């Protein structure tokens, strides 16, 4: 048997510090519905965004090892901007399977708003990273990019709290001084789940950008060029959710977020 056929049927491992990466998983499944996915949320260790880069690298490496040794995944998606910034390039040097990361969608935001004001919402670690500043430098025009660290938003999403009064108050606290704005970059995979709530604070005409779709397209290209795409169209691929927090409510919330319209 052609071993590539067997490998292409193996699952794709997707992980995040918690449940945010489910917003990316949705994009992956939309584009590649017959692939099988294993989603691992490290909610027991969330949030990553206020840890050191070394701590985030160590946690990410453990998950990558588990994906490869236990689940024999054919590719990995780091569905977390923070872990991508802190660990992706090192992990790519250490493992040979495709490792796809998530990056704040700075490029399309600048390209579409070359003279505009852009709020980049992300975790403190992502915004402090070299990767973020490099992206801004690389694509910069006359736009104004304002960093807006939003670590508490991660904690709200982890609790499944997406549009409560507390979320609205917190958003006013971190955004009001920076309004009006032309665009918002959702530079953390937890944030697409609170996009509708952010809209209530920044207004309906503001444009939003996130990296989920781009990551899905890039994964598809990588699978294709490595002969790893699952080309069987007989069945819808299975999605299995795991979480480092043993409380069964984590899996329930994971599925609820996945099914959110």
Edge-first strand listing for the sheet containing 117-122: 144-149, 117-122, 183-186, 207-210
CB of 42 to ligand DGL, least distance (A): 8
Cα gap 149→126, rounded to integer Å: 9
Annotated catalytic, 80?
A: yes
Q: Does 20 carry a binding-site annotation?
A: no
CB of 150 to ligand DGL, least distance (A): 9
Q: Does 23 carry a binding-site annotation?
A: no
Between 47 and 116, whose beta carbon lies closer to ligand DGL? Answer: 47
Query: Closest-CB residue for ligand DGL?
Result: 49
Kind and range of the H or E run holding 207: strand 207-210
**Among the listed residues 130, 103, 124, 102, the one whose alpha carbon sits nearest the alpha carbon of residue 51:** 124
Between 148 and 228, whose beta carbon lies closer to ligand DGL? Answer: 148
CB of 142 to ligand DGL, least distance (A): 28
Cα gap 247→100, rounded to integer Å: 29
Q: Does 204 carry a binding-site annotation?
A: no
- How far is it between the farthest Cα atoms of the chain? 62
CB of 69 to ligand DGL, least distance (A): 24
Catalytic residue among 32, 80, 100, 127: 80
Cα gap 183→203, rounded to integer Å: 10
Annotated catalytic, 106?
A: no
Q: Does 49 carry a binding-site annotation?
A: yes
Cα gap 69→73, rounded to integer Å: 8
Collapse the DSSP code of 21 into the 3-class scheme (helix H, G, I; strand E, B; otherwise coil) and give the result: coil
Beta bridge partners of 12: 37, 75
Angle in degrees, 0-180, between the axes of helices 195-202 and 165-175, rounded to the nearest 10: 50
Between 48 and 67, whose beta carbon lies closer to ligand DGL? Answer: 48
Q: Which residues bind ligand DGL (CB under 6 A)?
A: 16-18, 20, 46-49, 80-82, 123, 126, 154, 188-190
Q: Does 40 carry a binding-site annotation?
A: no
Residues known to be catalytic: 80, 188
Residues making up the binding site for substrate: 16-17, 48-49, 81-82, 189-190
Residues making up the binding site: 16-17, 48-49, 81-82, 189-190
């Amino acid at each position: 048997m052609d071993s590539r056929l067997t490998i292409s049927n193996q699952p794709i491992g997707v992980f995040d510090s918690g449940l945010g990466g489910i917003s990316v998983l949705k994009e992956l499944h939309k584009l590649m519905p017959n692939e099988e996915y294993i989603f691992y949320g490290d909610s027991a260790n969330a949030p990553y965004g206020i840890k050191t880069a070394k701590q985030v690298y160590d946690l990410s490496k453990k998950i990558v090892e588990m994906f490869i040794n236990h689940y024999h995944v054919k590719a990995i998606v780091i569905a977390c901007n923070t872990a991508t910034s802190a660990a992706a390039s090192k992990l790519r040097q250490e493992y040979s399977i495709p490792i796809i990361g998530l990056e704040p969608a700075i490029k399309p935001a600048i390209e579409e708003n070359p003279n505009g004001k852009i709020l980049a919402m992300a975790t403190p670690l992502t915004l402090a990273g070299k990767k973020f500043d490099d992206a801004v430098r690389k694509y910069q025009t006359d736009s104004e990019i304002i960093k807006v660290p939003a670590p508490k938003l991660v904690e709200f999403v982890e609790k499944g709290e997406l549009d409560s009064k507390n979320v609205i108050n917190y958003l006013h606290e971190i955004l009001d001084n920076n309004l009006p704005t032309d665009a918002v970059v959702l530079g953390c995979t937890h944030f697409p789940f609170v996009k509708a709530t952010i809209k209530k604070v920044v207004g309906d005409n503001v444009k939003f950008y996130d990296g989920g779709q781009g990551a899905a397209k890039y994964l598809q290209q990588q699978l294709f060029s490595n002969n790893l795409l699952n080309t069987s169209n007989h069945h819808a691929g299975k999605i299995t959710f795991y979480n480092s927090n043993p409380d069964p409510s984590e899996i329930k919330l994971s599925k609820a977020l996945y099914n959110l319209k």
